[in-house]
Amino acid sequence: MSASAIFVLDLKGKVLICRNYKGDVDMAEIDHFMSLLMQHEEEGLICPVMAHGNVHFMWIKHSNLYLVATTNKNSNASLVYSFLYKLVEVFTEYFKELEEESIQDNFVVVYELLDELMDFGFPQTTDSKILQEYITQEGAKLEVAKTKVPTTVTNAVSWRSEGIKYKKNEVFIDVIESINSLDVTVNANGSVMSSDIVGSIKLKTMLSGMPELRLGLNDRVLFALTGRDKGKTVVMEDVKFHQCVRLSRFESDRTISFIPPDGESELMSYRINTHVKPLIWIESVIEKFSHSRVEIMVKAKGQFKKQSVANNVEVRVPVPSDADSPKFKTSTGHAKYVPEKNLVVWTIKSFPGGKEFLMRAHFGLPSVENDEAEGKPPITVKFEIPYFTVSGIQVRYMKIIEKSGYQALPWVRYITQSGDYQLRTNV
């Protein structure tokens, strides 16, 4: 079973818009949601599922809105939460920003979307590109624009329209990896506390007709199944696919086979749990002089291949909240003080692998502050390295099969980004 009704509330708990799908839960039950939430907040026990009698509230918060689903049955909670996040995604596609004002300005469109996205409490058409074919933001044009439902809604391939034509058939594949939760304690010998890689494969498809695509990766499980063990392989965990991928085929022989959506889409995401050395290593030394001034020296070193270059590097160094009179000296790039965030932001546009750069900052300290009270926030680093994946994942092939037999060009690009990339210093 799924949701009985969907509500969109403002921060005070006022209902902005709602849709009753099954009629088995009193719509007035939503009045209890805000008081339950405040009670849980006071007790420090905020829970994603709350109950009032036999009615359960499943909710998420986005911007200045609460999206709430109600049910009085033993519903599939993961399905409901997936739908609520999909709702946010579709509304954002339509209105650019999802907030109270965008809901109030687009009541008609929101009602129509709620009608199409779910039927009798079960998710239906949730692809925003297909929805945009027959639910437009120009309400006046709606009656004459399309009088019949597109075939994609009732089609077996609901994510792709028929009759698509391109003069030049191409598909662009982006393999994007983020180094996440990298917490490095910098001491005498420097040690990595935890690290993992979160990756995604994104497509931009410009192909005519209804092509079938087959994607091959250097997947260790696939190589083991086929008896090949040459070259570097990767073990992917928490793999999540777009609905177009044939899961039964993947589970049987690890082949990623699919009819792609037109345009841009995320084909899959994955996680690789592995020890990763920091691609940009940071060392910092902080010296305080009789509580009147502080000097910070930061050294950044690129620990990736010399032929690679990190672009738009940002090193964010926390400084005392009462610091003033900043002075900077950098061996490359430029540094600036951001007082509202108590940070020094050191920006390096181009950072080649194997290089080392220095930044020195000098601040005055007009007051005597307790160091322990402020704590020692981590240094955060942002960067992007094109043509490089830290995990070593590779696209081995992309086969494009279409009944008309046209030739198509696949293009592959690799990018590594910083995710939640933090380095702590105990100096």
CATH number for the domain including 15? 3.30.450.60
**Domain co-membership, 24 together with 80:** yes
Strands 334-338 and 356-364: unpaired
pLDDT of 162 reads 85
Same structural domain, 110 and 10: yes
Structure tokens at 165: 């034509």
User: Which residues of the chain, if any, have pLDDT below 70?
Assistant: 1, 137-156, 181-192, 225-231, 291, 367-375, 425-427
Clarify whether residues 302 and 363 are in a common domain. yes
At CA 227, angle to CA 224 and CA 231, rounded to 5? Answer: 75
Q: Please return the burial class of 17, using the count of CB atoms within 10 Å of its CB with bins 0-12, 13-18 and 19+.
A: middle
Give the pTM.
Answer: 0.72
Asked if residue 147 is part of any domain, the answer here is no
Please give the structure tokens belonging to residue 203: 């497509």
Domain annotation covers residue 142 = no
Secondary structure (DSSP) of 138-160: -GGGHHHH-SS--HHHHSSSTTS
Same domain, yes or no, for 9 and 124?
yes
Judge if 309 and 248 occupy the same domain: no
- Are residues 371 and 356 both part of a single domain? yes
Q: Give the Cα separation of 265 and 243 in Å (integer).
A: 11
Give me the residues paired with residue 310 across strands.
351
Question: What's the pLDDT score for residue 144?
Answer: 37
Please check whether residue 48 lies inside any domain of the structure.
yes
- Please list the helix, strand and coil fractions of the chain in percent, rounded to the nearest 5, in that order: 20, 45, 35
Q: Say yes or no: 237 and 371 in one domain.
A: no
Is 242 in contact with 268 (CB distance < 8 Å)?
A: yes
Residue 307 forms part of a structural domain: yes
Q: What is the pLDDT of residue 253?
A: 83
Number of domains composing the chain: 3
Residue 304 domain flag: yes
Q: 159 in a domain, yes or no?
A: no
Collapsing DSSP to helix, strand or coil, 290 comes out as coil
User: Do 104 and 19 share a domain, yes or no?
Assistant: yes
- pLDDT of 229 reads 59
Q: Is residue 205 one of the residues assigned to a domain?
A: yes
Instruction: Please give the pLDDT value at position 207.
Output: 95
Q: Note whether residue 305 is domain-resident.
A: yes
The residue out of 132, 158, 181 marking a domain boundary is 132
Say whether both 19 and 109 belong to one domain.
yes
- Give me 385's structure tokens: 């390295």
Straight-line distance from the first to the last Cα atom of the chain, in angstroms, rounded to the nearest whole number? 55
Domain that holds residue 266: 170-276+390-424
For residues 117 and 12, membership in a common domain is answered with yes
How many helices (H) and strands (E) would you count in the chain?
10, 24
- Are 255 and 403 members of one domain? yes
Beta pairing partners, 55: 52
Closest CA to 315 of 283, 345, 343, 357: 345
Pairing relationship of beta strands 170-186 and 421-425 according to DSSP bridges: parallel
Torsion over CA of 246, 247, 249 and 252, rounded to 10 degrees?
180
Q: Are residues 220 and 314 in the same domain?
A: no
Q: What is the CATH number of the domain that holds 321?
A: 2.60.40.1170
